[in-house]
Amino acid sequence: MTKTIDTERLLLRPWKVGDEADAASLFRYASDPQIGPMCGWPPHTSVEGSANIIRDVFAAENNWAITVNGTGNGNEPIGCIELRPVKRIAGSVEPDCERYRSGNVLEVGYWIGRPFWGFGYMSEALDAVIGHAFTALHANAVWGAYYQENVRSGRVMERCGMWMAGESWHVLNLIGEYHDEFLRIITAEEWWADHDAAK
């Protein structure tokens, strides 16, 4: 079961299957044509379709609804972040990363509604989920991939200690488009060294 994660300003919680408020909030932000295509999926077209996505996709383990504490919106989702197992990282990676292509490694994916860009929410959520990956799930590394034109996403990963580790070319997404991706990584050793030093 997905564990709820509290941060300074956010509550990362499991999605609620069959919940009208979750579905309506998801549709509100995921129907934005500037969100889905940059993540590789088509914009949502109906609240019913968003409800089905929650049931069929977002209800998976380690998939969180991003909500803002104390906003009076009833903890309705403004975005999504997930950790998923990696069978094998494709593409060209730095030699030091070869041993992290497979095994006990995870990949992170995320998005947040456009009205919430520029407040540092996504970095806050990513930092918390990376910490969860290493402290609770005992991952050896966390990967992140983003389209080369999605500079914002790269900056979020960089702020959370993920460094440029490689590239993947001509990746086909759910919309039938091909994109080149940058790959970033943070290893357990790096994360623990940074957090032990901060104590």
pLDDT at residue 72, rounded to an integer: 63
Are 111 and 80 spatial neighbours (Cβ–Cβ below 8 Å)?
yes
Alpha carbon separation from 37 to 1, 4, 143, 178 (Å, rounded): 29, 28, 20, 11
Which CATH number is 102's domain given?
A: 3.40.630.30
Residue 2: the pLDDT is 84
Query: How many domains is the chain partitioned into structurally?
Result: 1
Return the closest-CA partner of residue 64 out of 20, 124, 120. 124
Residue ranges making up the domain that contains 86: 5-197
Q: Which residues of the chain have pLDDT under 70?
A: 71-74, 197-199
pLDDT, tens digit, 9 for 90 and up, residues 150-168: 999 999 999 999 999 999 8
pTM of the model: 0.92
Tokens for 171?
A: 């990746």
